Amino acid sequence: MRAASSRGLGLRLVVAFSLIAMLCALVIGYYVSQARQQVGADYTALVTDVVRAQQDPAALRMTLDSLIDSQDRIHLEQIHALLWRIPRRIDGIRLQLRRSELAPASYGELVEELAHVESRLPALEAAVDVGAEQGLDERGSEAILALGMEVEEGLAWAYSELNELLHRASAEQRQLMERLALAVAVLLLLLLLAIAAVMRMLFQLHRQRETMRLQSRTDELTALGNRRWLREAAEQAFERRRRHGASLSLMLLDLDHFKRINDAFGHPVGDAVLVAFSRVLERQVRRVDRVARMGGEEFAILMPDSDLAGAEALAERILRATRAMSLPGPAAEHRLTVSIGVVEAGEERSFDRLYSRADELLYRAKAGGRDRAVTGQGQAVPRPAGGAARTAIDAN
Ligand SMILES: Nc1nc2c(ncn2[C@@H]2O[C@H](COP(=O)(O)OP(=O)(O)OP(=O)(O)O)[C@@H](O)[C@H]2O)c(=O)[nH]1
C-alpha cells in the first residue's frame, strides 16, 4: 500500500512547473532581446548619419584652406559640390530626429543652429558662383572665406553636440534596458515562487488526502489492509477476471482458540501475536497476493492469477509456518494454529459471494477439528502425521 499516485502527481506538478518556468523565461527573454535590439538599432542609424555628416564641415574646412593657398577654380567647384550636399544631409538628420525617441527640447538648439547654417548657404553659393563666373579677386575670396568659415563652424558645433547627445541618450537607454531586464527577472522569480507555492500546497493537499485514504484502508494494529481495502482489490481482480479470464482464489484464516491467548497472557500479548501472525502471512505470499485483516483474529488472502491448487499449496505452507511460529513474550512456550477456508472463484460475480463460500469452508475447518484447511471442493488438507506433536493451545 504505497502512495504511488502521490508520487505520480508530484512528478506531474514538477514537469508542469518546469514547463511554465521555461515558457516564461523564453517569452520574457525574447521580448527583452527584441526591445534591446530595437533601441540599439534606432540610435545606431542616427549616430551613423551624424558621423557621416560631420565629414561636411571637415571637407569645407579643407577646401577653404586650399582656397587660401591657391585660388584655383577647382576649389570653387568643390565648395559648390559641398553646398549641394549639406542641405540634404541637414534635412535627413532633421527627419531622423523627429522619428527618434529623443525629446524635442533636447535638440531644439541644435536644430536652430542648423537652420541658421542653412540660411547662410545661399549667400555662400552666390559668392562662389560670382567667383566662378568672374574670377576670384581678393574681396570675393574674403567673402567666400568668411561665409564658409561661418557655415563650417555652425555645422561642426551642431553635429558634435548632436553626437554627444546621442551617445548620452544611448547610454541612458542601455541603463534603462538593464533596469527593465532586472525588473522582469524579479517579476519572473516572484511568479515562479508563487507557482511553486501553489503547487506545493496542491501536492500537500493531495498527500493528506492520500494519507487519509490509506488510513481508512489500513488495519491500525497490523498495518495490513483492512476489509474495505480487500474489497476494492477484489473488485479490481474480478474486473481482470472478467476481461482476461484470469483465475482468482480467496482464503479466509481464523486463529484457533485465540481467546485463550488473551485470557492466559493478556490483551497486549494477544495483540503481539496478531502482529507476528501478520508478518508470517506476508512472508508466505507472492507479491501479487493481498493480505488483509478482516477483524479480530480473522484474516484473508486474495490471490489473483491463482487456481485452487496454487491456493491449497499456500494454505499448507501457512499451516506449517503457523505451527512453527514462536509466539512473543510469555506465550513463547505455546504453539498457535489456524483454520483456513480456501475457494477459487467460479461463477461468482461479487466478492461477497466468494467470501461467504470461503467462510462456510472455514466454518467446516473449525468444525472438523481446527488446524486445517478446507478447500473449494470441500476436501480437507489433512493434518500432517506429526501434527499432534505440535502442541496447540487447547492441548495445553
Ligand atoms: N488481543 C486482541 N484480541 C482480540 C482482538 N480482536 C478480537 N480479539 C479477541 O479474539 C477473541 C476471539 O474469540 P472467539 O471468537 O471465541 O474465537 P477463538 O477463541 O479464536 O476460537 P475459535 O475461533 O473458535 O477457534 C476474543 O477474545 C476477542 O476479544 C484484538 O485486536 N486484539
How do residues 316-368 score in pLDDT, each as one tens digit? 999 999 999 999 888 888 899 999 999 999 888 789 999 999 999 999 999 99
Q: Which of 297, 298, 371, 393 to mutate to test the pocket of ligand 1 (most atoms within 8 A of CB)?
A: 297
* Average pLDDT, rounded, for the chain: 87
Which residue ranges does the chain devote to CATH 3.30.70.270?
227-389
What does the pLDDT read at residue 38?
58
Amino acid 84 reads W
Residue 309 Cα to ligand 1 middle (Å)? 30
Which residue ranges does the chain devote to CATH 1.20.120.1730?
4-195
pLDDT range class, residue 197, cuts 50, 70, 90: confident
Residue 120 Cα to ligand 1 middle (Å)? 120
* Whether the predicted pLDDT of 190 surpasses 90: no
Helical ranges in the chain per DSSP H: 4-53, 55-69, 73-99, 104-134, 138-215, 227-244, 258-265, 267-284, 308-323, 351-367
| 110, 96 contact by CB (below 8 A) | no
Active-site pick, 161, 232, 282, 297: 297
Task: Measure the CA–CA gap between 17 and 11, rounded to whole angstroms.
Answer: 10
Q: What is the pTM assigned to this prediction?
A: 0.58
Q: Is CATH 3.40.50.300 what the domain over 227-389 is classified as, yes or no? A: no
Residue 319 Cα to ligand 1 middle (Å)? 19
255 three-class SS: strand
- Ligand 1 atom showing the smallest separation from residue 270 Cα: 1
Closest CA to 289 of 262, 328, 315: 315
Active site annotation includes 297 = yes
Q: Which of 222, 259, 275, 298 to mutate to test the pocket of ligand 1 (most atoms within 8 A of CB)?
A: 259
Residue bearing the CA closest to ligand 1, atom 11: 259
Q: What is the CB < 6 Å shell around ligand 1?
A: 221, 254-259, 262, 267, 270-271, 274, 296-297, 366, 370
What does the pLDDT read at residue 70?
82
**What residue has cell string 567647384?**
77
ipTM for the complex shown? 0.97
Please give the share of the chain, as a percent, with pLDDT higher than 70: 91
Task: Measure the CA–CA gap between 40 and 50, rounded to whole angstroms.
Answer: 15
**Mean pLDDT (whole number) for 365-393:** 63
CA angle 322, 328, 332 (to 5 degrees): 80
What does the pLDDT read at residue 181?
81
Task: Measure the CA–CA gap between 141 and 146, rounded to whole angstroms.
Answer: 8
Residue 295 Cα to ligand 1 middle (Å)? 9
| 337, 389 contact by CB (below 8 A) | no
* Long-range contacts of the stretch 88-95 (C-beta < 8 A, 24+): 89/49, 89/52, 89/53, 89/56, 90/53, 90/114, 90/117, 90/118, 92/49, 92/53, 93/46, 93/49, 93/50, 93/53, 93/162
376 or 189: which leads in pLDDT: 189
Q: Which CATH number fits the domain 4-195, given the four candidates 2.60.40.420, 3.50.50.60, 3.20.20.70, 1.20.120.1730?
A: 1.20.120.1730
Phi, psi of 381 (to 5 degrees): -80, 115
